[in-house]
Amino acid sequence: MADDLNDVTEDDDEVSESSEALIAVHWRDEGYYPPPASFVAQANASDPAIREQFTEDRFPDDFTAYADLLTWFKRWDTVLDTSEAPFWKWFVGGELNASYNCVDRHLADKANKAALIWVAEPESEAHQAITYRELYVRVNEFAAVLKSLGLKAGDRITFHMPMVPELPVAMLAAARLGIIHSQVFAGFSGTAAGHRIADSGSTVLVTVDGYYRSGELLDHKVKADEAVEAAAKEGQQVDKVLVFRRYPGQYSAATPMVEGRDVFVDDLLAEHKGELVEPARLQATDPLFLMYTSGTTGRPKGCQHSIGGYLSYVAGTSKYYQDIHPDDTYWCMADIGWITGHSYIVYGPLALGTTSVLYEGTPNYPDAGRPWRIAVQLGVNIFHTSPTAIRMLRKVGPDEPAKYDYHFKHMTTVGEPIEPEVWRWYYESVGKGEAVIVDTWWQTETGGFLGSTLPGIDPAKPGSCGPAALGILPVILDEDGNEVPAGSGKAGNIVIRNPWPGVFQTIWGQRERFVSTYYAKYNKDPKSTDWRDWPYFAGDGATEAADGYFRILGRVDDVINVAGHRLGTKELESVALTVNEVAEAAAVPVIDDVRGRVVEMYVSLKPGFAPSAEIEAKVRDAIVKDIGKIARPKNIWIVPDMPKTRSGKIMRRVIAATSNFTDTGDITTLANPEVVEKIRQQVQSAKHAKGEVPRELSETELSEIKSFGSE
Ligand code: WTA
């Protein structure tokens, strides 16, 4: 492998087009970890010949193998309809119901098997096992409630719910009727939920009164009031707020219920006890849900996923990549508020009829042994989480796993690049050297995995997600659309040449933005209905090694991946600009040993205002209020001026370098180069004083900082 580090041109004031993607990378092969024989013997995929069923010449029919894992009311007529490219339509003419597939069809042979096991954060509370039969009853009753409110197929409903079993129940109830659900991460603020309610046009919000995080029973209902108010400001009225209770018969929030608008769900359920609701016969191409994610503009995009394609894809990838068998106890320690939870806590595992564990709280509460105690208590044998959780557990309890007698056969890491040394701790300490690891690369938009090893076939290589998933045809392209060859050591944009069933259908209400963001870049003929003309632009930089394994380097756009969650710089900056004193704002990533990246915010003030702790607090509060705690900047620097190009563009890479103590690069082309040194003095001396000097950065991290904000 060539150690080709010099492909970045130095004069990147506006950063020359071709150098952007050619982020130089320093690749060191990390060695292979083959699956243990015991794993291979039981794996859903153990014969390399499976790849021959998913070759390009078999596309798109190859994906019917995934669709065949589901029960269809009516089989499809056309596997893939490309007539409205790039709005792909999968399994056209097919009719099915996601709720039926995740619940009803398991009653025949798994009625009394646990579908969900919910673990409350307080260890004094017993866990709750919900059998498929109980899930059936609860989903039906809640569907009856939704129906009684007049909701019907095609309507949207917003959930702002934490990790409680009522959330999957509500999702499956909506899916039963064809109501499009939009779950907003509970950690997001009420205002953020309100923006998403307005964008989706929901008239009903479902929430809970309270839930536990880190030992505290949080008042969650207060966020519903904020959400309704924020939605109203954007012209969207919410008629009903349905409030589940964390503890039956009591109210866990301090915020009062609003007469006429807020209703306790248990009161409504009592009116619909034992009612059954026929699962609607829905088109495969009908939408199942929206999942909002951040992009390059200030406004989050509602990624719309289909019923047939999405459910097929998550069922297929859960089977082959998560290696889920019906008798496994599978725990994905992530939040259903993100795509990971939708695909790999709820829809994929339940479609396969397995037992899926849900945990309410923080991983290290009350101590870093908690996940491993849960694993022992429930007999978890498949474990799935993010690099941030792994880094945190490693930091606070490196020796904890060894104290507990659990045995994982399989583990997953998802959502961020994982450093090889963290991977090795996961493998040796958490997996005890017995478990395979899959490092799964994918996105909210993609519905399911795009890059991963097949765990019973391919050896894992720390730091790489592995080859393309079955049926996925990726290629790395430079800015001009030339292929960057495997093994060249050069980075480029990873694109997927073909559609796949899990890909999102559109951005809710923004068809043009869908095409321009994901497909326009490498499309040469906007009228073409041939899928070969529409490579999917993922927005990630990557390299491909000679062995066909991909290494994902991170976003090539202005998105900061904090603890695996995407935050748009424009989104953060536009919130900062709502503070009256602020004239300009710029958000940059800072490398963090636990959360991967954290946000730092630079602001300059309008004339006549002097920097103060008060203004800093205003900016911080505005961000927490509008987005949520997850976006809270680590530092806010009020600077005399922003480094700018002559055309007035803020040079984010220069301030990113300042925050990360890396070389600011060439600044001679700036309109105000003298400000760079002033800012450096101010920021770095303050950081020294706080003990915030980072470790030495890896080559990949350095190149990320160097090219940040170049688009
Ligand atoms: C990043 C999460 C490295 C990537 C499922 C992508 C990863 C973004 C990996 C999507 C991985 C995801 N290795 N980076 N295994 N998985 N990413 O939409 O930059 O929350 O574009 O979906 O996370 O984040 P999202």
pLDDT interval class at 30 (50, 70, 90): low
Amino acid code (one letter) for 663: D
pLDDT interval class at 26 (50, 70, 90): very low
User: 17: CA distance to ligand 1 center in Å?
Assistant: 24
DSSP state of 430: I
CB neighbours (10 Å) of residue 431?
20
The ligand 1 atom at the shortest distance from the C-alpha of residue 445 is 18
Is the pLDDT confidence value at 19 over 80?
A: no
Compare 676 and 556 and report the one with higher pLDDT. Answer: 676
DSSP state of 456: T
pLDDT tens track for 224-234: 999 999 999 99
The pLDDT value given to residue 29: 55
Q: What are the start-end ranges of the H helices in 635-692?
A: 652-659, 674-690
Q: In what order do the strands lie in the sheet with 582-592?
A: 582-592, 596-605, 635-638
Of residues 146, 189, 148, 142, the one with CA closest to residue 166: 142
pLDDT interval class at 179 (50, 70, 90): very high
Amino acid code (one letter) for 528: S
The pLDDT value given to residue 4: 30
Q: What are phi and psi of 419, to 5 degrees?
A: -70, 140
Average pLDDT for 279-285? 98
**Of 6-10, 16-20, 65-69, the least confident:** 6-10
If you take atom 13 of ligand 1, which residue's CA is the nearest one? 417
465 lines ligand 1 (CB under 6 A): yes
The pLDDT value given to residue 2: 31
The pLDDT value given to residue 83: 98
Is the pLDDT confidence value at 277 over 70?
A: yes
Average pLDDT for 422-432? 97
- Whole-angstrom Cα distance, residue 287 to residue 295? 21
Q: Please, are residues 192 and 628 in contact by the beta-carbon 8 Å criterion?
A: yes
416 lines ligand 1 (CB under 6 A): yes
pLDDT tens track for 401-424: 999 999 999 999 999 999 899 999
pLDDT interval class at 181 (50, 70, 90): very high
540 lines ligand 1 (CB under 6 A): yes
Report how far apart, in Å, the C-alpha atoms of 443 and of each of 293, 357, 502, 573 are: 10, 22, 11, 23
User: 641: CA distance to ligand 1 center in Å?
Assistant: 33
Torsion, CA 453, CA 458, CA 460, CA 466, rounded to 10:
-40
Is the pLDDT confidence value at 8 over 70?
A: no
- Whole-angstrom Cα distance, residue 362 to residue 120? 10
CB neighbours (10 Å) of residue 267?
12
Amino acid code (one letter) for 118: W
- Whole-angstrom Cα distance, residue 64 to residue 29? 36
The pLDDT value given to residue 243: 98
pLDDT tens track for 444-454: 999 999 999 99
Is the pLDDT confidence value at 20 over 80?
A: no
The ligand 1 atom at the shortest distance from the C-alpha of residue 554 is 19
The pLDDT value given to residue 27: 38
- Whole-angstrom Cα distance, residue 663 to residue 659? 10
The pLDDT value given to residue 3: 30
Strand bridging mode 492-496 / 474-477: antiparallel
User: 442: CA distance to ligand 1 center in Å?
Assistant: 5
Report how far apart, in Å, the C-alpha atoms of 330 and of each of 162, 353, 598 are: 19, 11, 30
Tokens of 326: 């019906």
483, β-bridge pairs: 477
- Whole-angstrom Cα distance, residue 578 to residue 585? 10
The ligand 1 atom at the shortest distance from the C-alpha of residue 340 is 5
Amino acid code (one letter) for 247: Y
pLDDT tens track for 521-545: 999 999 999 999 999 999 999 999 9
Helices 674-690 and 652-659 pack at an angle, to 10 degrees, of 30
Report how far apart, in Å, the C-alpha atoms of 184 and of each of 163, 227, 302, 548, 628 are: 12, 11, 11, 36, 11
% helix / strand / coil in the chain, to the nearest 5?
Answer: 30, 20, 45
pLDDT tens track for 604-658: 999 999 999 999 999 999 999 999 999 999 999 999 999 998 888 899 999 999 9
- Whole-angstrom Cα distance, residue 687 to residue 233? 39
DSSP state of 441: B
User: 475: CA distance to ligand 1 center in Å?
Assistant: 17
Helices 569-576 and 613-626 pack at an angle, to 10 degrees, of 130
Is the pLDDT confidence value at 1 over 80?
A: no
360 lines ligand 1 (CB under 6 A): no
Average pLDDT for 98-123? 98
Peptide bond into 349 cis (omega under 30): no
Is the pLDDT confidence value at 598 over 70?
A: yes
Q: Please, are residues 597 and 562 in contact by the beta-carbon 8 Å criterion?
A: yes
Average pLDDT for 40-61? 98
Q: Please, are residues 562 and 598 in contact by the beta-carbon 8 Å criterion?
A: yes
Residue entry with tokens 């050591």 = 489
- Map residue 356 onto helix, strand or coil: strand
Residues present in the chain in total? 711
555 lines ligand 1 (CB under 6 A): yes
Average pLDDT for 485-503? 95
Of residues 396, 428, 370, the one with CA closest to residue 594: 396
Q: Please, are residues 385 and 356 in contact by the beta-carbon 8 Å criterion?
A: no
The ligand 1 atom at the shortest distance from the C-alpha of residue 555 is 19
Task: Please compute Rg for the chain using Cα positions.
Answer: 25
Q: In 491-558, at which residue ranges do the beta strands (DSSP E only) sit?
A: 492-496, 506-507, 536-544, 550-555
Is the pLDDT confidence value at 105 over 70?
A: yes
Report how far apart, in Å, the C-alpha atoms of 203 and of each of 106, 545, 707 are: 32, 49, 42
- Map residue 331 onto helix, strand or coil: strand
Looking at the chain, the whole-number percentage of residues with pLDDT higher than 70 is 95
pTM beyond 0.85, yes or no: yes
The ligand 1 atom at the shortest distance from the C-alpha of residue 440 is 15
The pLDDT value given to residue 708: 86
Report how far apart, in Å, the C-alpha atoms of 486 and of each of 51, 288, 449, 475, 554 are: 19, 37, 21, 9, 18
Tokens of 472: 């996925």
566 lines ligand 1 (CB under 6 A): yes
**What is the 3-state secondary structure of 257-297?**
CCCCCEEEHHHHHHHCCCCCCCCCCEECCCEEEEEEECCCC
User: 554: CA distance to ligand 1 center in Å?
Assistant: 8
- Whole-angstrom Cα distance, residue 202 to residue 509? 13
Amino acid code (one letter) for 306: S
pLDDT interval class at 557 (50, 70, 90): confident
Peptide bond into 499 cis (omega under 30): no
The ligand 1 atom at the shortest distance from the C-alpha of residue 413 is 15
- Whole-angstrom Cα distance, residue 190 to residue 263? 18
- Whole-angstrom Cα distance, residue 53 to residue 63? 9
Strand bridging mode 287-293 / 180-183: parallel
The pLDDT value given to residue 710: 67
**Element counts in the chain: helices (H) and strands (E):** 22, 30
Is the pLDDT confidence value at 274 over 60?
A: yes
Summary mean pLDDT of the chain = 93
322 lines ligand 1 (CB under 6 A): no
pLDDT tens track for 147-161: 999 999 999 999 999
pLDDT interval class at 298 (50, 70, 90): confident
Of residues 212, 214, 162, 505, the one with CA closest to residue 341: 162
Looking at the chain, the whole-number percentage of residues with pLDDT higher than 90 is 87
pLDDT interval class at 299 (50, 70, 90): confident
The ligand 1 atom at the shortest distance from the C-alpha of residue 452 is 15
Is the pLDDT confidence value at 6 over 90?
A: no
Peptide bond into 256 cis (omega under 30): no
pLDDT tens track for 381-390: 999 999 999 9
Q: Please, are residues 667 and 643 in contact by the beta-carbon 8 Å criterion?
A: yes
pLDDT interval class at 12 (50, 70, 90): very low
Amino acid code (one letter) for 123: E
Q: Please, are residues 551 and 575 in contact by the beta-carbon 8 Å criterion?
A: no
280 lines ligand 1 (CB under 6 A): no
Q: Please, are residues 620 and 655 in contact by the beta-carbon 8 Å criterion?
A: no
Amino acid code (one letter) for 283: Q
Q: Residue 178: left (phi > 0), alpha (psi -120 to 50), or beta?
A: left
- Whole-angstrom Cα distance, residue 616 to residue 224? 27
The pLDDT value given to residue 116: 98
293 lines ligand 1 (CB under 6 A): yes
